[in-house]
Structure 1
Amino acid sequence: MDLAAEVAALTDEFSGVVRVDRAGSTVLDAAFGLADRRHGVPMTVGSQVAMASGNKGMTALAAMSLVEDGTLSLGTTARSLLGDDLPLVADDVTVEHLLAHRSGIGDYLDEDVESDIDDYALRVPMQELATTEQFVTVLDGFPTKFPAGERFSYCNSGFMVLALLAERASGTGFHDLVDERVLRPAGMLDSGFLRSDDLPGTAAVGYVRMDGHWRTNVFHLPVRGNGDGGLYTTTADMHRFWVALFAGAIVSPETVALMTTPRSDVPAEGQRYGLGFWVHASRDVLGLSGYDAGVSFRSFHDPVERLTATVAGTTSAGAWPIARLLEERLVTTSPAA
């Protein structure tokens, strides 16, 4: 069975998009299911799909571009820009700690605490979370978990704090900062932080299963994404992203090498982590992943094989069977394995 047929066999309940490129050729480019269930709008290969935490890599790159131009440094402390805000963030937490998920700060969406991803998780109305500064009240009140640098602990708050630091240091709104320093240089013209209450017709709607019915995720997530997740993208734009990243179009090759060097082993995920990027457990294959109410996303890139694969779904678990298949077929069994 070829790859396209194997993917198609896993799409009975999948709504989303899948793309694979190798050595300059597109091997698979497909769309399945509906982008809008209420109106029966079919998914297309050009649909803009949310990537949840997948955009932590873009947040990291925006921050590192500020490091490159001297606006920030890896040693810049969060406190130096937070002032009196978020007093429970330890004074010695740095940009580097935040990028590596080694800050130890308390997390407003703590993934170490068992919960249903489709729960209503936030304590403020979603429409009040449209700007970076509006997140300050949500991030406040979570005690430090461990001393900065002690160990890895995946932290959504850390990347929201990064967005705050980048915005305050640069004087540019975080959404504009990512657009100017990451999306445009990468040629990602169909990607952006769309508002969930004002989606264009090209964007796919996320869904959660509640009381036996599919309902949109508009009340589950911030109305506009930010540093820890929520960007909308296309599979074509993700291919452009990986190519541009390794061409030095976003930050320098030296910075890319720094960000993609593993800082932590994460056995629970079967992976390692650098600065904003997941790294395969035994190979230099990079990944970005996203998981939230009505969103599942995985994109990975092997620079040696010039291989890129992305799968994005509009339910919380829809993308995972296909993502596992792609990694098994394209990474585990590839020639360099």
Structure 2
Amino acid sequence: MEDVDRIAAETGFSGVVSIDRAGEVEFAKAYGLANRAYQVPNTLDTRFGTASGSKGFTALVVLSLVREGLLSLDTTARSLLGDDLPLVADDVTIEHLLTHTSGIGDYLDEEGDWEANDYMVGAVHLLTTTEAFLPLMAGIPTKFKAGERFGYCNGGFVVLALLAERVSGIGYHQLVRERVLRPAAMTRTDFLRADELPADAAVGYLDGMDRSNVFHLPILANGDGGIHTTAGDMSQFWRAFFAGDIVADVDEIVRPRLDVPEESLRYGLGFWLHETDDTVILAGYDAGVSFKSTHDRHTSTTRTVLSNTAPGAWPIARAIM
């Protein structure tokens, strides 16, 4: 993989690149530093943030509750929100939220003039629970009528996490651990506080700076993304997902529901899909984070790139995917 080494050198890539086929590693290499202040190198076992990459995990939690009959795709958000978030339209359903067609206002609106280095949220240290997001999301007007079009919405996946909590009586983080991480044997994946990262986790750095992203993201990841993982665990995830170990009806989850021409992609239920073939994609981008992991179920090939900078993953991801 001389091209990967070349691109890594040219771009100053910091992160991990992994390609495996049916569980056999074809390429895996770490580059750059997990902690610049202490000159700690990245390794294949380093845990990286995933930003929106873990929206797929939120989707699987919700769909597991649908499978059990506690929710349905037609369940309205209002039926569980009660008086909370009154600007969420009464006809917004679980399916609208899962497919980014709810039209609800977004606390982090990526359709606007947004840059990863921006400070977007005020008191990030308060965002340790799903309920804590309610004041942040309240008062944001609806953008369009439910079902009218695709409009990428981070807040919609926080709402999904909240609905899952309310119908199950279990906190979102524990739901993900029990319903996704455990059945997938993802032992190196978890929700890590940004202000007390363990030694095996990469610090996320702002683009062009040696400054960390600790004041830029919710201090503890929630339904719209941010869990920490490794390349090896992502391979575990895809194998377990397509084996039906997490939820059944995998084909229905990855059935294309929407074309998203502005991204040259399609969308299923919480998962990006390749524009023309059956490759399934999880991806994320935020301050100090870039992540992309794809799986081709026909060849059982997983390609994962994780980086602790916002622009880091993309040149290599384009080359290998």
Is the TM value for this pair above 0.5? yes
TM-score bracket for the superposition, by shorter chain length: over 0.9
Q: In the alignment, what sits opposite 1:258?
A: 252
Measure, in 2, the Cα distance between the counterparts of 1:259 and 1:118. Answer: 33
Contact 2:161 2:223 in 1 (8 A): yes
The TM-score normalised by the length of structure 1 is 0.93
Quick check: 1:8 aligned with 2:8? no
Q: In the alignment, what sits opposite 2:106?
A: 107
Q: In the alignment, what sits opposite 1:295?
A: 289
Contact 2:23 2:235 in 1 (8 A): no
Measure, in 2, the Cα distance between the counterparts of 1:241 and 1:249. Answer: 10
Quick check: 1:321 aligned with 2:321? no
Q: In the alignment, what sits opposite 2:83?
A: 84
Q: In the alignment, what sits opposite 1:330?
A: none
Q: Give the aligned residue type for 1:232.
A: H
Across the two proteins, how many residue pairs are aligned to each other?
319
Q: In the alignment, what sits opposite 1:133?
A: 131
Q: In the alignment, what sits opposite 2:54?
A: 55
Measure, in 1, the Cα distance between the counterparts of 2:22 and 2:130. Answer: 38
Q: In the alignment, what sits opposite 1:248?
A: 244
Q: In the alignment, what sits opposite 1:184?
A: 182
Q: CA RMSD in A?
A: 0.8
Offset from partner CA, 1:162-198 (integer Å, 9 cap, x none): 0000011100000000000000100001101100111
Q: In the alignment, what sits opposite 1:280?
A: 274
Q: In the alignment, what sits opposite 1:174?
A: 172
The TM-score normalised by the length of structure 2 is 0.98
Q: Give the aligned residue type for 1:59.
A: T
Measure, in 2, the Cα distance between the counterparts of 1:62 and 1:23. Answer: 25
Measure, in 2, the Cα distance between the counterparts of 1:79 and 1:170. Answer: 16
Shift of 1:209: 3.7
Q: Which residues of structure 1 form unaligned runs of 5+?
A: 328-337
Measure, in 1, the Cα distance between the counterparts of 2:239 and 2:23. Answer: 10
Q: Give the aligned residue type for 2:139.
A: G
Q: In the alignment, what sits opposite 1:193?
A: 191
Offset from partner CA, 1:120-172 (integer Å, 9 cap, x none): 011x3111001111001111111111111111111001101000000111000
Q: Give the aligned residue type for 1:147.
A: K
Measure, in 2, the Cα distance between the counterparts of 1:48 and 1:115. Answer: 26
Aligned residues: percent identity? 58
Measure, in 1, the Cα distance between the counterparts of 2:253 and 2:6. Answer: 36
Runs (4 or more) in structure 1 with deviation over 2 Å come to: none
Q: In the alignment, what sits opposite 2:223?
A: 227
Q: Secondary structure at the match of 1:245?
A: helix
Measure, in 1, the Cα distance between the counterparts of 2:319 and 2:21. Answer: 16
